[in-house]
Amino acid sequence: MAKYPKFLMEHFQNPRNVGEISDADGVGTVGNASCGDIMQLFIKVSDGRIIEAKFKTFGCGAAIATSSILTERVKGATLDEALKISEATSQEVLSHLPKEKIPCFTLAIDALKLAIEEFRCKEAGIHEKGGFAPEEMKKG
C-alpha cells in the first residue's frame, strides 16, 4: 500500500473501531465476489444518532482503511447525516484510490446503508430478513 496517501496508510496500519457490537441496532454484511472481500458494519443508535460504529473486514488494506475512516466519521451523526457523510467521504477517499480498489470502499458504504436499513426496519416492526412482524401481517 505504499502508493496510498498518509491518512489511508494510518487507518490501514492502525484501524479504529475494529470488532463487533454484540447488541447492535443494525448490521450490514456485504461481500465482493470478484476480490473476496467480506465486511460487516455494526451500529448502535440512541435518540436517532449513531453512538457507536464498528466493523469486521476480511479484505485488502484499502477495505480495512476505508472501513475505519467511515466508522470514525459517522459516530455522532443522525442516520440521514451518516448517509450524507458516506457520500462526502466517498468523494474524498475515492480520489486517492486506484480504480481497482474503488469496490473496496463501496463495500463500506453499502454495509453502512444496510445497517441503517436494518435499524429502520426494526424500528418499523419489520423483521431483518425482509418479512413483516406478526402484528404487521394481521393488518393486511
Of 18, 35, 83, 102, the active-site residue reads 35
**How big is the CA angle at 94 (ends 21 and 6), to the nearest 5 degrees?**
80
Which DSSP letter does residue 49 get?
A: E
Is residue 104 part of the annotated active site? The answer reads yes
The answer to whether 60 is a known catalytic residue is: no
Q: DSSP 3-state assignment of 17?
A: coil
B/e letters for 76-93, b = 16+ CB within 10 Å, e = fewer, are ebebeebeebbeebbeeb
Q: Kindly name the residue from 104, 109, 111, 115 that is annotated as catalytic.
A: 104
Q: For the sheet containing 38-46, what is the strand order?
A: 26-31, 38-46, 49-58
Q: Give the active site residues.
A: 35, 104
